[in-house]
Amino acid sequence: MVRKILKKLFKFKDIEDYHAELYPKMKYIEDLRPKKKYKSKKK
Amino acid sequence: MSVLSITGQELLDIVHKDIDDFSLDAGYYITDSTYAVPELVHMRTEVYHSFTKWLKFIGLDRKKGEKQFWHRKFDCENLASLYKSYCDLLHYKTNPLTFTENSKAKKKNKSNSEGLAVGTIWYDNNKASNPTTAHAINAIITQKPGQKELSVVYIEPNNGSQVSLTKKEKESIWYAKF
């Protein structure tokens, strides 16, 4: 609760807030290659 | 959405294709078995912007009036290595679950590739005032806008710009690490 008030009043930041700013989620190229189908071997 | 992953050999083939006269003396180090392929626009905008913030956070900010992040004792190859490490760190932070955790968790990793297709390269910079100046920059294996095939994009970590290497410069690469 105290942290919430500090955050609101003084723009106090938790370490997680800094991490969110410093380490954005990576975006990747989508794999559009046809997926390999594996057939089970019949005995 | 499944993330595109390439093997170390596929990555080396793409680098091979980009450099016509592949120098056999060059040291190309492929240290992971698989590599996730990052999105170019994201790398050049959000990732680079956060990288400069991170440099400031770790005390490597530019002073007023300075154009470069590098210094005599922390120069281009240090910055290029740091950019690669930072991108690897983002890849890890985006996909923090271990193989076992990922198989059990509801919220899965985006990518299970060991590495990210971002590397560092060392070459002779012919554009510099001194033509024999060695330089280090970063190379990203990605899709260029409007292209389906993967290719190499060279990035200057000092300002985030895309660099075009001449044939001579590409042939002069003597060390690359992905």
The CATH architecture assigned to B5-177 reads 2-Layer Sandwich (3.30)
User: Which of B4, B46, B143 is the closest to A24 by Cβ?
Assistant: B46
pLDDT tens per residue across span B156-167: 999 999 999 998
The reply to whether B82 touches chain A by the CB within 8 Å rule is: no
With CA atoms as reference, the chain A residue closest to B147 would be A29
Task: With beta carbons less than 8 A apart as the criterion, state whether B17 and B101 touch.
Answer: no
Q: Which residues of B touch A36 (CB under 8 A)?
A: none
On average, the pLDDT of chain A sits at 81
Question: Cβ neighbours of residue A14 under 8 Å, at least 6 residues apart?
Answer: A3, A7
Say what the pTM is. 0.87
User: What is the per-residue pLDDT for B130?
Assistant: 66
Q: List chain B domain ranges.
A: 5-177
pLDDT tens per residue across span B82-128: 999 999 999 999 999 988 888 888 889 999 999 999 999 999 887 76
What backbone torsions phi and psi does residue B103 show, to the nearest 5 degrees?
-70, -25
Collapsing DSSP to helix, strand or coil, B69 comes out as: coil
